[in-house]
Structure 1
Amino acid sequence: MVESIFLMLILRVTIGVFKHSQVMIQALITDLYPKENQSVMFGNLKSITGLSFALGPLIAGHMTEIEDGFILTCFISGILFIINAGNSKPSKLRLFSSLCDRILM
């Protein structure tokens, strides 16, 4: 429970900034994959999202019980984020091309 209004404001802003990543991922799927593969990709996204909501707190909860576990959890999360950020470069960048095509028509 947060007792400081300042800390609560910082946490709320952080949640607000990172909350919309699902919308961004869905937009990227529609832009990077052909229509015939989009349903498979959306299914994979929803499956992984559901699995991560179930397993993430379970694994992190056990990790935080060990000494300096919170720091270890943050470190592993950061490493996974960096690996995913470097691993997700599309071969041809055509982000929001359908929107650009509609504007230019």
Structure 2
Amino acid sequence: MTEIDTIHTIRAASLLLACLDGTPAEVTKILDEAHASPAGLPGLLAAMASATVELLVGTVGEDGARKTLSMVLLDASVSQTEGAYERHRVRSGRSRGQLGSS
């Protein structure tokens, strides 16, 4: 692991802790530091992805990690679809029961 990788790994863990602690100022500080670093935010994202995968595999194994991440993708796609449905309903001025009828 290079020095930059180590710094981003520390930032990734610090960012997750700041999110858990609910400290927006600390989150902003960490993101600003990462943005100003040589690897920038992509370096932080790579470190965070690596740490997340390592944590998932260590906790639930590789199959469990794949299932968990697949569930996250499914939840996000359902949420996105529901959001599109809601935006269409609001734009069209229809109530929920009226959306299917013309």
| TM-score (ref. length: structure 1) | 0.34
Greater helix share, structure number: 2
Higher relative contact order (CA 8 A, sep 6+): 1
| TM-score (ref. length: structure 2) | 0.34
Question: Larger C-alpha radius of gyration, 1 or 2?
Answer: 2
